[in-house]
Structures are given as structure tokens and as C-alpha cells.
Chain A
Amino acid sequence: EDQVTQSPEALRLQEGESSSLNCSYTVSGLRGLFWYRQDPGKGPEFLFTLYSAGEEKEKERLKATLTKKESFLHITAPKPEDSATYLCAVQAGGGSNYKLTFGKGTLLTVNP
């Protein structure tokens, strides 16, 4: 069974204080690992897809990396507007597998 564990559950940072969120996963043949951002009362917003170990992707202050067992979302010099819940999800390979398995998320709060 595919599993995704995110840590920490909650993280509070000061503006400009860089940190990382962790996503550990077990999956039978990784098709893709996904990061989403979710604001309160809204649906998840797609950020990145990573496909293989060693891959990295960046968007503004966010950088996602992938190993065979985990992914990190690095946040450099965060701003208050980066406050949100960050979700990690995996999709297993297989011809008819369309399911994403999500973690419970990390609630990030950035104080000014």
C-alpha cells in the first residue's frame, strides 16, 4: 500500500528564516511525486511534479528535491504570503492507476 508521511505537522518561521518540509514515501514504482499548496477554505494548488531521484524544481522561493525515499520542499527567505498548508502526494506506476495518495500536510506559518 502506498504511504506518504509529512513532517513536521506544523512549522512556524520568522520572515526570512529559511527551512525545509519533509515528505517520506513508500510506493510501488513511482510515477510522480507532487507538491501542492492549500490556503484555508480553498482547493489545493499544484506546485511541482518530480519524477525521478535527483530531480529538482524551483518556483520563486520554493525548491523541491527528490530521493528514492523522500522529498524536501525548501523555502528560502519566506514571506508571510507563503503561509499555507503544503501537501505532498505520490502516484504509483501502472497502466490503470490514477490515484494520488496524499499526506496529511504541513501547516506553515510565516510571521512578519
Chain B
Amino acid sequence: NAGVTQTPKFRVLKTGQSMTLLCAQDMNHEYMYWYRQDPGMGLRLIHYSVGEGTTAKGEVPDGYNVSRLKKQNFLLGLESAAPSQTSVYFCASSYTGQGVGYTFGSGTRLTVV
């Protein structure tokens, strides 16, 4: 059971560089999410998807873009990285969008210098 797999696990970017974080799930879940976790703050929702081909903004979407071309994959892009985007990024999925627990990936630790 792979569950939710995130790649890469670690990355260091220079300010202004771009990158894509990949999330893959093998549970046939409809809903997928990207959260960021910063010291002293709770997890915050960046973007989410309610199904293949759909995306929507969460709580802190600025500076990020997402795509869900296939049901099992949810990509998070940073077009021009900034130091404020230094964080740990978690992808999660669920079979329905309300009232159920998520399955989280193990995270990507991103440092922007």
C-alpha cells in the first residue's frame, strides 16, 4: 500500500527559480489537497481538487499553481520561488470532500535561498 507519494522529499531553490512538486495516490480518491506547514502555525490549505481536471484556491494560494490532469496525480508549481515559500509541503487525498479523514503524504521540505 503506497497511499500518497510525494516527490521530491527535499529541495533547495534559489529565489526566482521554478519547480514542480508531484503528488501521486493509488487509492482512487476523488479529492486531493496541498497544504503547507510552517513552524508555530497550523497546516494551511494552498489549493485543492474535487476531481480530475478541476482545481480550486484554498487559504494561501498566492505564488502557487496546480494541475490535476490525471485522477491519481496532483501537481503543485512554484513559478518564481520566494524565501517566504520555504516550508514543508504536504499532499493529502480523501474519497469524499467532507467529514472524512485525509491520507497525507510524507512531505516535501523546500528551502528557498
Please state if A105 and B98 are interface contacts (CB–CB under 8 Å): no
- Closest Cβ–Cβ distance, residue B52 to chain A (whole Å): 16
Q: DSSP majority for the B interface?
A: loop
Q: How far is the CA of A101 from the CA of B40 in the complex (A)?
A: 14
Please state if A98 and B104 are interface contacts (CB–CB under 8 Å): no
User: How many pairs, one residue from A and one from B, have CB atoms within 8 Å of each other in the complex?
Assistant: 65
Please state if B43 and A46 are interface contacts (CB–CB under 8 Å): no
Q: Mark A71-89, 1 if CB is under 8 A from B, else 0.
A: 0000000000000000101
Q: How far is the CA of A48 from the CA of B101 in the complex (A)?
A: 8
Q: Mark B78-95, 1 if CB is under 8 A from A, else 0.
A: 000000000000101000
Known: A98-B48, A99-B59, A104-B40. A91 touches B99 (CB 8 A): yes
- Within the complex, which residue of B92, B99, B107 is in contact with A32, where a contact is CB–CB below 8 Å? B99
Please state if A46 and B50 are interface contacts (CB–CB under 8 Å): no
Number of interface residues of A (CB under 8 A): 28
Please state if B98 and A43 are interface contacts (CB–CB under 8 Å): no
18 contacts between A and B (CB under 8 A): A31-B99, A32-B100, A34-B101, A36-B104, A41-B106, A42-B106, A42-B107, A43-B107, A44-B43, A44-B104, A46-B103, A89-B43, A91-B99, A98-B98, A99-B58, A100-B45, A102-B42, A104-B41
Q: B residues engaging A (CB < 8 A)?
A: 4, 31, 33, 40-45, 48, 50, 58-59, 90, 92, 97-107
Q: A residues engaging B (CB < 8 A)?
A: 4, 31-32, 34, 36, 41-49, 51, 87, 89, 91, 93, 97-105
